[in-house]
Amino acid sequence: MASWDSLDLDLIEINAKAIYIILSALGERQENQVHNCGNAKKICDKLDELYGQPLEKKLEKDDLLDESHQVMMKRISNFELQEQTMR
């Protein structure tokens, strides 16, 4: 039998807490779809596979939206400046 050190026990505890938090947020249907996953990472991967894009894609999309928002705000600001100079 392998010996467990305090780091192993900490990782097991963190994984158990993460699983609890994830499962608490899921409905019964989603919970049934991930009940065979052995750890929190596998649950997240399965949910990504079933319902959405990986986090990296979402972050890329958020960055693009943020850039678009900045461009739009700059255009609005320029438009307001043009309006003020025309008065």
What's residue 63's pLDDT? 61
Does the reported pTM lie above 0.75?
A: no
Give me the residue spans of the domains in the chain.
Answer: 1-52, 53-87
CA distances to 12, 30, 46, 56, 77 from 23, rounded to whole Å, are 16, 9, 13, 22, 45
Per-residue pLDDT at 1: 45
Contact 7, 14 (CB under 8 A): no
Instruction: Report helix, strand or coil for 47.
Output: helix
pLDDT tens for residues 38-60?
A: 999 999 889 888 887 655 565 56
Q: Which two tokens stand for residue 34?
A: 């991930």
